[in-house]
């Protein structure tokens, strides 16, 4: 009986230590193989504009900006670049701006490519609340705007 009690105690102790284990690991670092942009992936919003942030490869970020003009018109910018982990920013030089007009069913009625090769940067800030600013050097579309993190897609 003593052996059985000791065995059950050992099993229960092992189980409880395993079940109560908490994960105290630090946030992933760049050298762990995870793209550091993963810490910022999601949707950010300011007024009528939203920015979708996605991670690509080892340290690349892709952005899609949507800015609603009306219920049937939208402006879209897409760009990507290498994430600077120390400065928490991405510089890009491949921005494409498109103006879109939609049919009532949501399909694209008209698409106009306004420009390609736009330059600028996206700067992240994490001081308890994730935010970003967009420095659009082509048109200064978002000057003075701070985009707030909404959700992770």
Q: Is position 109 within any domain?
A: yes
Tell me which of 19-28, 32-41, 116-125, 126-135 is least confident.
19-28
Answer yes or no: is 78 within a domain.
yes
13 domain-assigned: no
Q: Write the DSSP assignment of 44-68 as a string of letters.
A: EEETTEEEEEEEETTTEEEEEEEEE
Q: Are 50 and 66 spatial neighbours (Cβ–Cβ below 8 Å)? A: yes
pLDDT digits (tens, 9 = 90+) for 2-54: 443 333 333 333 333 223 222 333 344 446 789 999 999 999 999 999 999 99
Calpha distance 26→34 (Å, rounded): 13
Number of structural domains the chain divides into: 1
Q: Which domain holds residue 130?
A: 37-151
Would the pLDDT of 100 be above 80? yes
Residue 143 is assigned to a structural domain of this protein:
yes
Residue 42 lies inside a defined structural domain of this protein: yes
């Amino acid at each position: 009986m003593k052996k059985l009690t000791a065995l059950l105690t050992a099993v229960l102790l092992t189980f409880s230590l395993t079940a109560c284990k908490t994960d105290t690991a630090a946030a992933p670092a760049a050298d762990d193989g995870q793209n550091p942009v993963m810490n910022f992936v999601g949707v950010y919003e300011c007024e009528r504009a939203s920015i979708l942030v996605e991670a690509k490869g080892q340290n690349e970020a892709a952005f899609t900006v949507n800015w609603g003009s009306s219920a049937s018109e939208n402006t879209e910018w897409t760009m990507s670049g290498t994430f600077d982990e120390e400065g928490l920013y991405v510089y890009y030089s491949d921005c494409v701006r498109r103006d879109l007009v939609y049919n009532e069913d949501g399909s694209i009625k008209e698409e106009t490519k306004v420009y390609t090769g736009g330059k600028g940067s996206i700067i992240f800030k994490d001081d308890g609340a994730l935010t970003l600013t967009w420095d659009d050097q082509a048109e200064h579309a978002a000057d003075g705007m701070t985009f707030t993190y909404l959700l992770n897609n």
